[in-house]
Structure 1
Amino acid sequence: MKTYFASITYYGVILLTSLILASCSKDDNIGGGDNGAGLDGLSGTIYYDWASDGIMRFAMPAGSGGAFIPDNSDLNSFDVSRDGQERLTVMNESTLGVYPIRFTLSKMSDNTVLENFVYNSPGLNAYCKGYLSHDKSHILITSNDEEDGLTIVRRNGEFVTRLLDINGEPFDFNATRLWLPGNSLLITHKNYIIRLDPPYTSGQLVKEMTYDDWGDLDVNPAGTQLLVRIGNHLHTMDMNGSEPVKITESNFKEAKGMFSPDGKHILVGSNYRQTGPFGFVWDLKIIPNDGKVYNVDPVAANSPGVIPVIWRNDKIESAGGQVIWR
């Protein structure tokens, strides 16, 4: 057993803890394309941001696609509840000298507004983002300003808590923050993956990542398995911090992976490439989550079982921003 010490700034108080480490949418309903291995074993909907198209959707097993949210430069982020019943939008409503961010929860079925509130971050950040907890009771608000930290509110906007740092170190600019079942959080900080359980005053070290290049962390809906990019390829590992298992290969780079709603498949961002000083795009392919290695190369023949996301113009769909699978 190894003891790891961390402190979290919480309501302005430093708490020292000992962590034990054990080794509405518009549906164009355009028909399906050639999806390789087929969609019969798949379920849910992939929502993805693509250029000036806005937020698009791809529904399975039908293989139909269409628009979900029109392109809007004021949309900071969006989310869909795990049961597919509610949509969260986070809009930048800032004007000269004021920086309100509007959070709206609405029904997917008819756009009825369920909750609507304005949030003003301590750092006056106009680009805060929001993510709905598994049970739809809370929203995690993220920001790139140090004084904003990680903020948790109830679904109606009522403040719950704010976390500012770990061990006196502010959260990383590109850190991952994910909800787990039971309203726990999974975050990355420096070279660590850390779990925070309510009331978020202490955390548990899941794994120290001793790799030069890693990121793009995701967790399955059950909270038992992790997906992470190490180097140019995707790997899975158990939540207990077991050694990563490589699951993709190609002559290029895979990134931005995520689990299906039932955890049985993985969406792969294949052929991950840079398009400008700050822009990246990737192609969408699906593989089984069975621990095997799948070739998802954009040129060479892919492994049996690889499913390209195709629904229009017989061309694989690409993403360049936020992607979720619900």
Structure 2
Amino acid sequence: MPEIWFRYGGTEVSLELPDDLSYKMLEPRELKPDERLWRELGTFADNLGRGAGSRGFTILYDHSGDKMSLVILRHLIESLEQYSDRIRVLVSGWRLDPSEGWEDARRGLKEYDVRAEIINVRGREMVEHSGMRIVEDLLDNSVKIILTASEPHGLFGKASLREALAFGGFAEIGFSEDLQADILTVWSRLIEELRPWAITMLNDRIYMGDAEDVAKRVYNAGCEEAVSDFEIVLAGCGGRPRDTSFQLIAHVIGLLRDTVVDDGLIGLIAECSRGLGSKSFMEAVLGGGGTPLDRALARMIRETSTSKKIALATTLPRSVMKKLFDIRCFDTPEEMLTYALRRYT
């Protein structure tokens, strides 16, 4: 009997598939560290270092829980140290729970021995500039480098450099219901002001260079795999710190809604140990309050549930999820699969 393992909170859970079940397993392609990668990163850092003079470096690091980003950050700093001892890392983590995200980043930076001045961007002074409020640290003359992992996202298509600047706490604007336009506004204003460089990873590729050029390449890059319409799609959500609340993993519903037939089942495996999510998200779910981002997420869940069935293997309370989202919850992936097979076979 084939067995598949999923990350689930701080552990893993397994799912045994019946021998006679027809299925297809998809896994994300991952960047593999090798000597070629470190040479490319070293060359990139050398080019920046030789032109920096005494300006120093400020790295805008948006933490997503991805370990490869930490490895690349460490190697980048090691390469820059020969040019300046003034290296700061401003840490954000908009894709994670605010408190747990910072703690996960802090532990990771220590584990991977990242030697620099580490600063939580959420605690920094904001000043008015270019028609919005931005972190004061960004207005010095240091060389700016944005570093984050890029990945598919159920609301935006991709979560990458632009979203890191818009939602990471580096800048504040009054977001409207047109989030895509607001993201581009923040991006264009900060790019014009900072003239930053960027490093990001998407699937098994790394992109380095001028931030605007890197963004164009990443957002134009394909990261989907063509699949037929399925009756059932089951997906893991990455484990801790990615699956600590329903709010964090709900965008995956948007990623998968076009992979299943009408009335098909989207099944997610996510512990959600911190519950449903933030107060703002719950305001959006219950009464249309919250932030525009929260409202967009709640709206996407409701719209998807009108044409697809949604299920969760989770610790969330069944009655609450059924009432709020029309989502059926199960204690284990096996229970969820049993329900799905009974419904669709």
Q: TM-score, normalised by structure 1?
A: 0.27
Larger-Rg structure: 2
Q: TM-score, normalised by structure 2?
A: 0.26
Q: Which has the larger share of helix? A: 2
Q: Which has the larger share of strand? A: 1
